[in-house]
């Protein structure tokens, strides 16, 4: 009866096989993982990014700061005093683009906008606010966590 001897050659072969199995597993895992861009129109938005920076700088310069806080059941967004504000709120969920949504700005008499918290899944959110006031365009971006 012949005995199989294990020497350093077998060790190298087993190491190569284990390495290849691990690499195949990582490739299969990474190919099944969803990768979302920041937005579907990523490249178009990148071109328009300078105008967004200009609107944000104008907001800071003219002291048009948007405040965000929570009450019991709502996200409360407080705009600067004005009578003529229109625009769009873009709620962005970095971890899942399927949860993103937009709503038009419809303010109360006290320049507040209320968004029900039940519209949000728990976690990290960003709100991108584009608004127009007296023919001037402004932009603000804030982050918040829904618990």
Alpha-carbon span 116 to 78, nearest angstrom = 15
Q: Name the nearest CA neighbour of 33 among 119, 95, 92, 83.
A: 95
Q: Which helix (H) or strand (E) holds 76?
A: strand 74-78
Alpha-carbon span 64 to 59, nearest angstrom = 5
Q: What is the CATH number of domain 42-146?
A: 2.60.40.10
Q: Output the average pLDDT for the chain.
A: 84
Q: Name the nearest CA neighbour of 129 among 79, 83, 73, 94.
A: 79
Name the range with the highest mean pLDDT among 15-19, 101-105, 135-139. Answer: 15-19
Give the per-residue pLDDT at 25: 97
Q: For residue 35, what pLDDT band results from cuts at 50, 70 and 90?
A: low
Q: CA-CA distances (angstroms) from residue 138 to 1, 39, 58, 90, 102?
A: 86, 20, 7, 14, 17
What's the rounded mean pLDDT across residues 94-116? 86
Q: Contact, 64 vs 80, CB < 8 A?
A: yes
Residues 63-96: pLDDT tens digits? 777 888 888 888 898 887 776 888 899 998 888 8
Residues 4-21: pLDDT tens digits? 777 888 899 999 999 999
Residues 118-135: pLDDT tens digits? 888 899 999 988 888 877
Q: Name the nearest CA neighbour of 69 among 117, 102, 101.
A: 117
Task: Report the 10 Å Cβ neighbour count for 55.
Answer: 18
Share of the chain above pLDDT 70, in %: 94
CA atoms within a 13 Å half-sphere pointing along the CA-CB vector of 6? 4
Alpha-carbon span 123 to 99, nearest angstrom = 11
Share of the chain above pLDDT 90, in %: 18
**In the beta sheet, which residues pair with residue 32?**
none
Residues 42-60: pLDDT tens digits? 777 777 777 777 777 777 7
């Amino acid at each position: 009866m012949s005995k199989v001897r294990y020497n350093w050659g077998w060790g190298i072969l087993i190491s190569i096989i284990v390495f290849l199995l691990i690499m195949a597993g990582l490739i299969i895992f990474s190919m099944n993982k969803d990768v979302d861009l920041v937005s579907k129109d990523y490249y178009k938005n990148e071109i328009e990014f300078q105008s967004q920076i200009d609107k944000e700088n104008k907001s800071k310069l003219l002291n048009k700061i948007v405040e965000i806080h929570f009450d019991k059941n709502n996200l409360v967004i407080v705009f600067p005093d004005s009578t003529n504000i229109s625009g769009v709120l873009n709620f962005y969920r970095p971890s899942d683009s399927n949860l993103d949504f937009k709503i038009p700005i419809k303010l109360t008499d006290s320049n507040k906008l209320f968004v029900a918290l039940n519209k949000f899944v728990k976690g990290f959110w960003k709100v991108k606010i584009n608004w127009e006031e007296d023919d001037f365009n402004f932009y603000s971006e804030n982050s918040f966590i829904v618990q």
